[in-house]
Structure 1
């Protein structure tokens, strides 16, 4: 908590207008995350994706009276007469200054973690291992950016005994800023990979930048077997303060003597300056083992007594890095976040629920278990929880656990409440069966086994699922934004149900990244998005003459590609009293699909100029071969034809329409022709037409093994008896076939699936509802085991499309609606 005067001093304000003295308890940078307006400072960030200043008046009406801005005060003060305003040159820098000054008040240890992979896992493992002994504040989820780090450090409280914060960077110069905010006393650098590599010339340069976090740290933990990190540590002159662990070098301070795994657990034996010890952990995968070794090294330096409490290591829970969003029974939506239950995580999950709940006729339901090992007195903790739920306007609250049952009265202000001492008690009741048309958030400590509730509330337990990482969609969109100018607008294609992914969830995610336009194929698709509160401008690429009323009623902007359709919309617009109704003019620059030809431009320009009922918001064309270097001459010719036609059209108009021609492949290869706007399609999903690096995997198609069979040599398998082998084989039957969109051409060994670390070929023909794969070489294969059909670096959707001679678009678009979509956010 800081006074408004302290804030003014921290940020070196250029100007201020203070109407009321107050204490600042919370910082807000996203207007959509507002829950409690009292004692909040809204920081109006100006980024290439949006301007926070435009939300000031709206937030003032909701009760916020403290604003940190970078624009002149008088205009805002007139509209918000009782508000406090602080003006600075750069609001992001000011946010960082506030956090830096706040950090200076604390002398307790702080652990800073950086790297490409494993930051959040190491942070959460350390929290689990140390929380019984210490009061800890840590980064919520993966808040590790230039904005996330100061918001995390601001949460440090006088009662805290330890802070654990992540730091992530995407370009040179950023880590110095984060170091001044975090000031870690202990540092951890995890593995280094290619994420955000596009702004660094070499991996060594990126390592050097990350190591800036530890310039004043007392101790730095790293994997000494990683030669590049070791070289970076040495070059930075940090080796004298480092604890490098090694599986190779017996002279390393922390030498890992052996790592022995069985089916479910691993024994890690190590020697530290002559002391030998073995710890058993409930993981067998390489990444988790490395993350735990980092934790062991930190604990040896910071709190070695914890190593004697071996049961804590076996009680480590997997860290779920996602919020799962599932369709439910009775019109419900289910948000499953039953992995990490503390007060900070509850706030974030409630914010996610608020954003996903519809504005009209959709109730917000929270199912919450006791919050365990919080380090806060139960009465104080649950008073805060009750106040938070009241602020979030929860319609129904279901509490599970003895602590919550004892404190029912605290939640009396919530319209509907129910309390149960255990999850089985809730399951046996009829309470869950009575919930309908609601957004249900499940937030439970792991021991309460809320996954049972998730299964009960989901429509059905599907054996085959399409997992969609919404955060990866957002990250890929921002990746392509980094390749265009800040002033260039972006259209994102969500037609055909978002290429089969789901247009609403896709549109909702894209809206949060502040893109400029969405594009759908048909008016019905746009109507559906409008009815689900998508407010972005929406282009309709294939408008039908029967849908003019729908276009007008739902503010949908049609593509116009012929004089017939142009004259009709002008007539309809005139008849309904429209003025300057937005349309988009399609130019045929050589693809010869839809659009006006170059010879049509004079006539087109005269019609548009004579009819104020419509306004050409943009003029555009489509590249036919931007991904094919052998056709670059054709592509350049298309661009020049388009540019000439567009400028000629503009000469007839009293305004300037936006120009755009680049698709995903065009953004990658011809960014110099970005004009005013670009259109992003398949790149959002992590598929690069030109195989550029830096994109994240968005979609994973998964199934499970229904049955395992041993088939003698020479026995036929599947329709047509075409799956025949000259030796005995073991096969697995999967519940996915061509009715699900798994192409028939993938049968007879053309396609492969991933089971564990093994790529297993198909056997025989793909059936309508099932397929068979060869698992002869897969050890310990069992019924119910998970199978990946694409979405892994070892088995991509591009691999499948190349095997059957098509493109990733088609494989996505044909996936059946009976394949359950599961949306999550890393």
Structure 2
């Protein structure tokens, strides 16, 4: 089985999103191992293309990446300064007054940023908390102040305008660079761009950036084929029976590899070129069974993620989102970087 990752497509997607916010610096979100695609390969390529700001969720992700990026690359930690963490060479995005005072006590003069909660109620300081420490925080010179949009993938959602207004009310006249937009926010337009944008899923070929170049192809090897008579079962639970004499291929991946079990009996196919081969029976831990009856010849491998079935189509069939499809991909795949 093989996972092919198109680095030039990642770079093209970054350039396209950056071009939509020409007045802002364009960072790159590479958390969760670059959404499952390999941060130690993706981030250096983005750096070589001119990116200097990177975002990860956790300090240990940042430390792992630090060895792969030059010193002038800024690695921002979205979880902030958690007690006992080593933040050498990293920038915590501080989410509460407690984190701010801890960070200033332990790293006086160290680079930091601030996150504000503008209505998502997930991370960041609420308006009253920010007002209480605003003067002291600004005097310490944060690298930037950010917030995060809850509904940016729904352009007409009223929460977008409400969060924008809240962000402006909390940060106007601060004299500090500001950041509100991830991929969806970039697509909302210039009002949301401020000084720094943070493209994430759009880099990797996912919605809401519908114009993104595809980045991933997932090919699964055919281990065995067999003839199944009409009426015979295939797979666990006898959940599928052949309606005709069929040819069934077994391929080498399953839910242990991030092919979600919810894709069983979902209408998902594997592809031989443009020919769709339906998945039949249940997705099991290491194996998937596929109806290849209509193929004139069974190839050595079939594609699960490909231009005919991109990540968001697979997500729709699984009842989830493209983010989960990407981040569920496991390390058992042989990876090839273009």
TM-score when normalising by structure 1: 0.40
Q: Does 1:640 align with 2:165?
A: yes
- 1:493 aligns to what? 29
Q: Residues of 2 paired with 1:541 and 1:559: CA distance?
A: 5
Q: CA-to-partner distance for each residue in 1:435-486, whole Å, 9 max, x for gaps?
A: xxxxxxxxxxxxxxxxxxxxxxxxxxxxx1111111111111111111112x
Please report how far the alpha carbon of residue 609 of structure 1 lies from its aligned counterpart in structure 2 after TM superposition: 4.7
- 1:451 aligns to what? none
- 1:557 aligns to what? 91
What is the aligned-residue RMSD (CA, Å)? 1.5
Please report how far the alpha carbon of residue 791 of structure 1 lies from its aligned counterpart in structure 2 after TM superposition: 2.4
- 2:325 aligns to what? 811
Identify the match of residue 665 of structure 1 among 181, 184, 189.
Answer: 184
**Partner SS state of residue 331, structure 2:** coil
Structure having the higher Rg? 1
Q: Residues of 1 paired with 2:106 and 2:331: CA distance?
A: 36
Identify the match of residue 570 of structure 1 among 104, 123, 137.
Answer: 104
In the alignment, is the contact (CA less than 8 A) between 2:47 and 2:69 conserved in 1? no
Q: Residues of 2 paired with 1:749 and 1:767: CA distance?
A: 14
Q: Residues of 1 paired with 2:54 and 2:320: CA distance?
A: 26
Q: Structure 2 unaligned runs (5+)?
A: none
- The structure richer in helix per residue is 1
In the alignment, is the contact (CA less than 8 A) between 2:184 and 2:208 conserved in 1? yes
Please report how far the alpha carbon of residue 804 of structure 1 lies from its aligned counterpart in structure 2 after TM superposition: 1.1
Q: Residues of 2 paired with 1:667 and 1:609: CA distance?
A: 26
In the alignment, is the contact (CA less than 8 A) between 1:522 and 1:544 conserved in 2? no
- 1:748 aligns to what? 265
Q: Residues of 1 paired with 2:61 and 2:229: CA distance?
A: 51
Q: CA-to-partner distance for each residue in 1:395-431, whole Å, 9 max, x for gaps?
A: xxxxxxxxxxxxxxxxxxxxxxxxxxxxxxxxxxxxx
Q: Structure 1 unaligned runs (5+)?
A: 1-463, 651-655
Q: CA-to-partner distance for each residue in 1:232-285, whole Å, 9 max, x for gaps?
A: xxxxxxxxxxxxxxxxxxxxxxxxxxxxxxxxxxxxxxxxxxxxxxxxxxxxxx
In the alignment, is the contact (CA less than 8 A) between 1:521 and 1:542 conserved in 2? yes
Q: CA-to-partner distance for each residue in 1:48-85, whole Å, 9 max, x for gaps?
A: xxxxxxxxxxxxxxxxxxxxxxxxxxxxxxxxxxxxxx
Q: Residues of 1 paired with 2:78 and 2:84: CA distance?
A: 13
Please report how far the alpha carbon of residue 749 of structure 1 lies from its aligned counterpart in structure 2 after TM superposition: 4.7
Identify the match of residue 511 of structure 1 among 47, 56, 63.
Answer: 47
* Closer, same or farther: CA 542–766 of 1 in aligned 2, 3 Å: same
* Closer, same or farther: CA 534–499 of 1 in aligned 2, 3 Å: farther
In the alignment, is the contact (CA less than 8 A) between 2:36 and 2:326 conserved in 1? yes
- 1:702 aligns to what? 219
Q: Does 1:619 align with 2:145?
A: yes
Q: Residues of 2 paired with 1:492 and 1:583: CA distance?
A: 17
Q: Residues of 2 paired with 1:719 and 1:779: CA distance?
A: 27
Please report how far the alpha carbon of residue 599 of structure 1 lies from its aligned counterpart in structure 2 after TM superposition: 2.0
Q: Residues of 1 paired with 2:36 and 2:126: CA distance?
A: 32
* Closer, same or farther: CA 677–533 of 1 in aligned 2, 3 Å: closer
Please report how far the alpha carbon of residue 781 of structure 1 lies from its aligned counterpart in structure 2 after TM superposition: 1.5
Q: Does 1:599 align with 2:124?
A: no
Please report how far the alpha carbon of residue 601 of structure 1 lies from its aligned counterpart in structure 2 after TM superposition: 2.8
In the alignment, is the contact (CA less than 8 A) between 2:264 and 2:279 conserved in 1? yes
Q: Does 1:541 align with 2:60?
A: no
In the alignment, is the contact (CA less than 8 A) between 2:207 and 2:312 conserved in 1? no
- 2:235 aligns to what? 718
TM-score when normalising by structure 2: 0.95
**Partner SS state of residue 100, structure 2:** helix
Equivalence map 1:373-452=2 (5 Å):
none
Equivalence map 1:213-362=2 (5 Å):
none
